[in-house]
Structure formats: structure tokens, C-alpha cells
Amino acid sequence: MSAAGSSAAQAMTPATPRTGWHDLPPAVRAAIEAHTGTVHHAETITTGLNATFTARLLTDTGPVFAKGVPSARAAAQRREALINPHAHPIAPRLHWHIDTAGWHVLGFEHLDGHPADLSPHSPDLPAVARMLAQLTDLTPPPTGCRRIEDPWADAGEQAGTDATLLAGNHLSHTDLNPHNILITNHGARLVDWSWPTLNAPWIDTACTALWLIAEGHTPTDAENWAAAIPTWTTATPPTLDAFAAINAALWTQIAATDPRPWKLRLRTAATSWAQHRTGRSAKVGTETT
């Protein structure tokens, strides 16, 4: 694992304070136990960014991973519940979900594993590559997914490129931060499908490559790693240039709004990749004239 001072993933902290099991309204706990039987122990999980309640529940029916937010801001969780049958088995199976007493809670298959280490020479990298190669086996739902060119249109305009270069009909996760990639005895699994999109088949590999750069890889090394994943062959230099430029603009916007250390590191990583792509394209253009 890379040192804490140089790891973007280790600097990630929750956006909201955690609510414990016993702090949930009694009606919410009762609704959960209607699915699980008695909850004998609840261990709050501190990783992850957006859920207010995240816990490992030991219940009559076995261990469950549960996460929840107030119902008024549960749009992302509702998308995740909708997408889950289409994202399994790369995503853990959703067993149940409830929306009661002002809370929306999801209950998932519990996975034993650890967040992926994406630093150079990490032993987790082969499992991550195998998981990315399997993503094209997923079938997207008929509704519930935005097309990537829509949420990234503004960043594309700012970067002077066209986000439609990234368009496609493949189901993608797009938030490949190491906490969302769990390394288990059965391989890498991808959790927290809150932002599913339809796009080109190589986008999730590119999103992972960006995190590799943030965790200490050079842009060249990250691209060479990605090149071993079959979908990468469908990317062209102009589409990779567009992805890098859009993400540099996107993370510059994000870090300006919320300059937490890990977001600043992603901005630096995205900017360095975009500069690498610009220099590479300029070199290729010179060689072909």
C-alpha cells in the first residue's frame, strides 16, 4: 500500500457524520429486522462517502451490509436498487430495501474483503483487471441510466472537446475509487452503483487508470496497465484525449468547490494525464506531418 501521505484513497473521508444502528428510528430498525430477524450486533463502517448509515449487521439470517440515507436525498440509492439485478454478480446482491420513517435503507449480500490497493506493484491489480474485463458481460436496464455525455457535457465544453466522443450503450459504474473495489477470495467486486451510466465500453477502465495515477502510477504506466484489458482496444487516441481533458476540467471544478486533499490529488492526477495526452498527440502530429 502506498504511504498515507501519497494515497488519495486513504485521504477520503465521509461527507456526512455516521448514524449508528441504535440512533436509527425504532420503526426503521423494526423494518430491517422484518427482513433479517434479530440484529445481534451492528458494526458501523466508517469508509465510504455519501451514506449516513453504513453498518455490518450480524443477524438471525447471517451477516448483512446495510447502508441508508434520509429518504429526501435517496435518489442515488434508488438508482442503485434499480441497477442491482443488472450489475450482479460483479456487484453484491441486494437482498432488500426499505423506505420508512424518513429513511431509505439497502441491505446487501455481505462481502469479506478489503478495498483495492491501486498503488504501483500492488498484488490487487490483476484481480481489478479481471473484474474490468468482465464488466462488458453486464446488460443495462431499459431505464435508470444516464448517458455519460449528459452529465459530462459542461466539463467537455470547458475542456474544448465533445463529450459525445465517450458515448455508447455499455453499462458502467464510473466511480472506481479504491473503496468501491473490494478484493475478496472470489476476485474483485464493485460496490456502490449510485451513478450508473451508458457509455463506451472502455470508460470504467479509464476511470480506474485515473485512480492509478492518483495512487502513484505515471500516466504512461497507467495506460500500459489498461492496455491489457480487452475493451481498451476500442478506445482511440482522440477519445482518450477527450476523456483526459474532460476529467481534468471536471476535477478542477470539483476541487475548487470542495478542496479536500483527496479531491486535490485527483485534480492533479487528471491534469497530469491530460497534459500527457496533449504532449503525446502533439508528438504524433509532428511525426505524421
Q: For residue 289, what pLDDT is reported?
A: 41
Residue 151 grid coordinates:
452529465
Q: Report yes or no on 270 lying in a domain.
A: yes
Residue 239 grid coordinates:
477519445
Q: Report yes or no on 289 lying in a domain.
A: no
Beta-bridged to residue 55, according to DSSP, are 44, 66
Residue 94 grid coordinates:
441486494
| CB within 8 Å of 190: residues ≥ 6 apart | 87, 90, 91, 131, 135, 173, 176, 180, 181, 182
Domain boundary (59, 89, 109) is at 109
What's the rounded Cα separation, in Å, for the pair 15 and 181?
A: 19
CATH at residue 85: 3.30.200.20
Rg (CA), the chain: 20
Do 160 and 38 belong together in one domain?
A: no
Handedness of CA 250, 256, 257, 261 (dihedral sign): positive
Q: For residue 187, what pLDDT is reported?
A: 95
Do 130 and 250 belong together in one domain?
A: yes
Q: Report yes or no on 29 lying in a domain.
A: yes
Q: Where are the alpha helices (DSSP H) in 161-260?
A: 203-214, 219-226, 237-257
What's the rounded Cα separation, in Å, for the pair 137 and 74?
A: 28
The amino acid occupying position 7 is: S
Residue 62: strand, helix, or coil:
strand
Start-to-end CA distance of the chain, whole Å, equals 44
Do 66 and 187 belong together in one domain?
A: no
| Residue 76, domain extent | 4-109
Segment 229-232 long-range contacts (CB within 8 Å, at least 24 positions apart): 229/129, 229/132, 229/133, 229/202, 229/205, 230/133, 230/136, 231/132, 231/133, 231/135, 231/136, 231/201, 231/202, 231/205, 232/202, 232/205
Domain boundary (109, 126, 156) is at 109
Q: For residue 51, what pLDDT is reported?
A: 83
What's the rounded Cα separation, in Å, for the pair 28 and 35?
A: 11
Residue 157 grid coordinates:
465544453
Percent of the chain with pLDDT over 70: 92
Low-confidence ranges of the chain (pLDDT < 70): 1-6, 11, 13-16, 48-49, 280-289
Do 186 and 252 belong together in one domain?
A: yes
Number of domains in the chain: 2
DSSP E strands in the chain: the ranges are 39-44, 53-59, 62-70, 94-100, 103-109, 113-115, 146-147, 170-172, 181-184, 187-190, 197-199
Do 171 and 265 belong together in one domain?
A: yes
Q: Dihedral of the CA atoms 134, 135, 140, 144 (nearest 10)? A: 150
What pTM did the predictor assign? Answer: 0.91
